[in-house]
Homo-oligomer: A and B are copies of this chain.
Amino acid sequence: MARQRAQRAKAAEAPRETFKSMSPSEFFYHYKEIAGFDNPTKALYQAVRELVENALDATDVHGIFPDIFVSIEAVDREESFYRITVEDNGIGIPPNNVPSAFGRVFFSSKYKLRQARGRFGLGAKAVIIYAQATTGRPIEVYTAPIGSRRVYYFKLKIDIQRNEPLVLARGEFENPSGWHGTRVSITIKGDWSRARHRIYTYFQRTAIAAPYANIVFVDPDGNVVVYRRTLNKLPPKPREVKPHPHGVDAEMLKQLISRSNAKTMLEFMVETFQGVGKKTAEAFLEYAGIPKDLDPHRLSERDIVRLVSKMREFRKFRPPSADALSPLGPEVIETGLRSILKPEFVVAVTRRPKVYEGHPFIVEVGIAYGGEIPPQEEPMLLRYANKIPLLYDERADVAWKVLHSFDWKTYMVTFPAPIAVLTHIASTKVPYKAAGKESVAEAPEIEQELRNALREAARKLREYLLKKKREEEAKRRIVTFMKYTPEVAKSLAVILKSYGVKESDIREMLLTAMKKRLGLPEEEFAKLVEGLEVSVEE
């Protein structure tokens, strides 16, 4: 006690801090909101989402039509423990990588310049950490790479303080059917009744962006929902690309140089960057005032910073390749919107690739209008990034900002209106605001492209609305005209009888005159007249 008192007095005299280190697992264990696991409701949704997105990344990215099975079972209703199972028909995971892929935060196959849903190397691990915190149960994994004669089984946890996998059991089975893919099961605390709506919305939105997938979902109440494949075409496969000179910073350039075997700057430029041929490299090095036969390993820190700055300035590099990207395409978007929202009109726009901070990106916008969409005070916004739907934090998203500063009136839309807008940002790097991937930050280039895409789509909507309005007006005019046609024809017939003109001919003439007046093509006119009931007395 005396010692304690003395210590306390000393501490009061000169307060010092004790320092501690945390593993990345521990960090996300303590700050689970950052990974999107705020509470049992959000966690159930986030867990489903992370596992489904891994499943999709194992399939369409590699040219496989996804067949995804998802179930949530209530294993302990009193404690609100739910077992989530997700199975895909993807490329599987090599067995030697399984422990780290599930047991080590910041370990991933997706740290590449190639578009994927996941990017952080965090999702599945965050689910496991949350499971350990709430139910204490391990994850179970069955996996078989393509062509594997065996199916591999693992039961594992994460040693959170060490950020290392703890394999509790493993096994191997024959694979006579040649199955490939991954099946994971994990039990977490959740709140199904609150998460229900969000999870169903998630599946619906996922189905809109992946009409080429079959998704089966069995919920804890035993309901089975099937999102059936409605499109037999996959989006283009994204390819891994080299970095673009405009996307490089001082730190990356230093790393690239230290990893390179190039003997000269010319060689280095050509080998390291995408779209840089010998000529471009020479032109650039001259512009930057760097001798082309300089050994890149001899650049000083200051040279490197200058080089980066020159690289950003130089305007003659080819624009970043879009090979790494996989946009949805208008067909996918229109099919998706049509089959889920059942609108009367739908249009989609895929913009050409652009660049922010050296990262290529493509913006896509779809608009669905009328039909079964209920009129609302603001447009229904369906946000996507790299094909995944974003449901939370809408108001913090750049797309929300663009939609809400958009001049809808110019495009003949006045609210309340039955309108839904889909936005999709495809990029090798989506600037998410948080690791939970719910909203996209305001990169000026992305904002501008969203605005351009929205305008382009809205112009087509306006054309449609204009045509619709014109048709309605024409219809009104025809109805008015038609009302009098029989009488006019009759009167004229009486006068022209002596000339042998038939009443039916007169009516025909009148219609032709009207058609000319309305200036509509034959086909459209026929469509308009078709529905009209005009009783003409013969």
Q: Which residues of A contact B (CB under 8 A)?
A: 13-24, 26-27, 29-31, 33-34, 38-39, 62-63, 79, 91, 93-94, 97, 100-101, 104, 106-111, 119-121, 129, 132-137, 145-147, 160-161, 249-252, 254-255, 301-302, 304-305, 309, 393, 395-396, 429, 431-436, 439, 441-444
Given A17-B109, A19-B109, answer yes or no on A436-B435 (Cβ-Cβ < 8 Å): no
**Contact assessment for A19 and B101 in the assembled complex, using a CB-CB cutoff below 8 Å:** yes
**Contact assessment for A107 and B22 in the assembled complex, using a CB-CB cutoff below 8 Å:** yes
**Contact assessment for B136 and A305 in the assembled complex, using a CB-CB cutoff below 8 Å:** yes
CA distance A377 to B341 in the complex (A): 35
Q: How far is the CB of A278 from chain B (nearest CB, A)?
A: 19
Query: Which chain B positions have C-beta within 8 A of A93?
Result: 17
**Contact assessment for B136 and A33 in the assembled complex, using a CB-CB cutoff below 8 Å:** no
Which of B31, B145, B309 is in CB contact (< 8 Å) with A435? B31
CA distance A275 to B305 in the complex (A): 56
CA distance A101 to B434 in the complex (A): 24
Return the chain B residue nearest A249 by Cβ: B133
Which of B39, B79, B91, B432 is in CB contact (< 8 Å) with A15? B91
Q: How far is the CB of A94 from chain B (nearest CB, A)?
A: 6
Which among A79, A119, A431, A441 has the highest number of chain B CB atoms within 10 Å? A441
Query: Which chain B positions have C-beta within 8 A of A436?
Result: 433-434
Query: Which chain B positions have C-beta within 8 A of A26?
Result: 106
CA distance A121 to B104 in the complex (A): 20
Which among A18, A133, A249, A433 has the highest number of chain B CB atoms within 10 Å? A433
**Contact assessment for A22 and B106 in the assembled complex, using a CB-CB cutoff below 8 Å:** yes
Query: Which chain B positions have C-beta within 8 A of A160?
Result: 251
CA distance A30 to B431 in the complex (A): 10
- Can you name 7 A-B residue pairings with CB atoms under 8 Å? A17-B109, A19-B101, A27-B120, A39-B443, A132-B250, A136-B302, A136-B305
Query: Which chain B positions have C-beta within 8 A of A443?
Result: 38-39
**Contact assessment for A136 and B441 in the assembled complex, using a CB-CB cutoff below 8 Å:** no
**Contact assessment for A136 and B250 in the assembled complex, using a CB-CB cutoff below 8 Å:** yes
Which of B18, B38, B133, B302 is in CB contact (< 8 Å) with A109? B18
CA distance A254 to B252 in the complex (A): 41
Query: Which chain B positions have C-beta within 8 A of A106?
Result: 21-24, 26-27
CA distance A16 to B443 in the complex (A): 33
Q: How far is the CB of A532 from chain B (nearest CB, A)?
A: 49
Main DSSP-derived SS at the A contact region: loop
**Contact assessment for A97 and B433 in the assembled complex, using a CB-CB cutoff below 8 Å:** no
Query: Which chain B positions have C-beta within 8 A of A249?
Result: 133-134
Q: How far is the CB of A392 from chain B (nearest CB, A)?
A: 9
Query: Which chain B positions have C-beta within 8 A of A442?
Result: 38
Query: Which chain B positions have C-beta within 8 A of A135?
Result: 250, 305
**Contact assessment for A15 and B111 in the assembled complex, using a CB-CB cutoff below 8 Å:** no
**Contact assessment for B27 and A161 in the assembled complex, using a CB-CB cutoff below 8 Å:** no
Query: Which chain B positions have C-beta within 8 A of A34?
Result: 34, 432-435
CA distance A148 to B404 in the complex (A): 57
Query: Which chain B positions have C-beta within 8 A of A129?
Result: 251
Return the chain B residue nearest A248 by Cβ: B133
Return the chain B residue nearest A121 by Cβ: B22
Query: Which chain B positions have C-beta within 8 A of A79?
Result: 309
Which among A20, A250, A251, A301 has the highest number of chain B CB atoms within 10 Å? A251
Given A14-B146, A22-B111, A396-B393, answer yes or no on A136-B304 (Cβ-Cβ < 8 Å): yes
Given A431-B38, A441-B33, answer yes or no on A16-B301 (Cβ-Cβ < 8 Å): no
CA distance A23 to B161 in the complex (A): 15
**Contact assessment for A133 and B250 in the assembled complex, using a CB-CB cutoff below 8 Å:** yes
CA distance A14 to B26 in the complex (A): 36
CA distance A137 to B300 in the complex (A): 12
Q: How far is the CB of A290 from chain B (nearest CB, A)?
A: 16
Query: Which chain B positions have C-beta within 8 A of A309?
Result: 79
Which of B91, B132, B431, B435 is in CB contact (< 8 Å) with A17? B91
Which among A33, A104, A136 has the highest number of chain B CB atoms within 10 Å? A136
Q: How far is the CB of A297 from chain B (nearest CB, A)?
A: 16
Query: Which chain B positions have C-beta within 8 A of A104?
Result: 21
CA distance A111 to B21 in the complex (A): 9
Given A19-B109, A33-B433, A79-B309, 15 more A-B residue pairs with CB atoms under 8 Å apart are A16-B91, A17-B91, A17-B93, A19-B97, A19-B107, A19-B108, A24-B24, A24-B106, A34-B34, A34-B432, A38-B441, A133-B250, A136-B301, A396-B439, A435-B435
Q: How far is the CB of A95 from chain B (nearest CB, A)?
A: 12
CA distance A491 to B33 in the complex (A): 79
Query: Which chain B positions have C-beta within 8 A of A109?
Result: 17-20
Which of B119, B302, B395, B433 is in CB contact (< 8 Å) with A434? B433
Query: Which chain B positions have C-beta within 8 A of A108?
Result: 19-20, 22
